[in-house]
Amino acid sequence: MLRRITALGLGLALLTACGGETQASGRQTTATPSSIPSTVTLDDAEAAFEIVRDLADAWRERDCAKIKHLTAEVERAVGERVCAAVRNGLPAPKFTNYRDPEFFLPAGGDDDEDPWFAALATTPSPAYFVFVRSGGRWRLALGPIPVAGDERRPAKDRAALARKAAVRARLVPPRHVTYLTDPAGLGGVRFRSGDPMRDLLKELVRTTESGGRLTADVGIEGTARTLPLPKDGALVFHTIRIDYEQRPGGGRPRYRPAEVRAFTGEAAKGTVRGTEMIALATAVDANDEMATVGMRRVLSGITAD
């Protein structure tokens, strides 16, 4: 389920304020250290990180099959669509050859969940990555997520996530949806001054001022994964999806004609719909305050009537 910034959105925010968090989106699944098998070793992580170099080569060569092979979950869905558009004229993403990583391995648990781990590359600039073992091999599930602000380093000793911290972490993605669809702030979700989420909310509010010809729906995409931070905090890796729809006469086009042609193969004649994915690393502390630690935004698809 996606949520739109409209009068209905404000009504939902009122309900949220009166009765707790609104659980938004059917796309979300969660995975925390308490439900992940302890099959990840440091050797596994070091070997899997070579995927980053391979992906940099694949994007440079526009090798869509290789990109699909090396990715999973959100990164695969985005990579397939974007790579096809790159072959059709869209500028290729600048996938830097990140290196000098620190690895963060989750605590062990239920064997039903796919093994995963996170990494923080430190060169040439800090960025987070999430890798998952899928289909018998390691693949990149999310990343790079460039650090936006202070780096947060999870525990390296497979520390388990405290129960209360796990509950706070599970609420991070739906609380983002509440915040981004609640310009009046009635849902009680806050970010501190200077946080990138505040700028994103301002952008979405401006979208609603176009007389209804440009709309934005906000939802959750993919799996949220969590690692413990000191003092009962948690670092959550997750993705927010924004679907824009612009009808003819909606003012300045949101997407350039070249972008529309790259994804659709033709010029836009009617309504244009674009999907943008926002990969996030969000820290939540014992006081339930959230801070955006890392963020990456990518246009992942366009359709047009």
**204 alpha-carbon distance from chain centroid:** 17
Helices 163-180 and 196-208, packing angle to 10 deg: 30
pLDDT-based confidence at 305, cuts 50/70/90?
confident
**Residue 9's closest CA among 218, 214, 277?**
218
- Dihedrals phi, psi of 28, to nearest 5 degrees: -80, 135
Is the per-residue pLDDT at 24 higher than 80?
no
pLDDT at 87 over 90: yes
Task: Count other Cβ atoms within 10 Å, centred on residue 38.
Answer: 14
- H or E stretch at 69: helix 64-70
Cβ atoms of 13 and 100 closer than 8 Å: no
> Tell me: the pLDDT tens digits for 182-232?
988 888 999 999 999 999 999 999 877 666 688 999 999 999 999 999 888
Question: Which regions of 135-213 does DSSP assign to beta strands (E)?
Answer: 137-146
Helix (H) or strand (E) holding 283: strand 272-284
Span 235-260, average pLDDT:
90
Coil, strand or helix at 62: coil
pLDDT score recorded for residue 117: 95
pLDDT of residue 34: 40
Distance in angstroms (rounded) separating the CA atoms of residues 87 and 261: 11
Strands 214-229 and 3-4: antiparallel
C-alpha to C-alpha distances, 175 to 94, 169, 253, nearest whole angstrom? 30, 10, 30
Whether 133 and 70 have beta carbons less than 8 Å apart is answered as no
pLDDT at 93: 87
Instruction: Give the residues across from 262 on adjacent strands.
Output: none
Peptide bond into 196 cis (omega under 30): no
pLDDT in tens, 49-75: 999 999 999 999 999 999 999 999 999
Under DSSP, the state recorded for 225 is E
How many residues appear in the chain?
Answer: 305
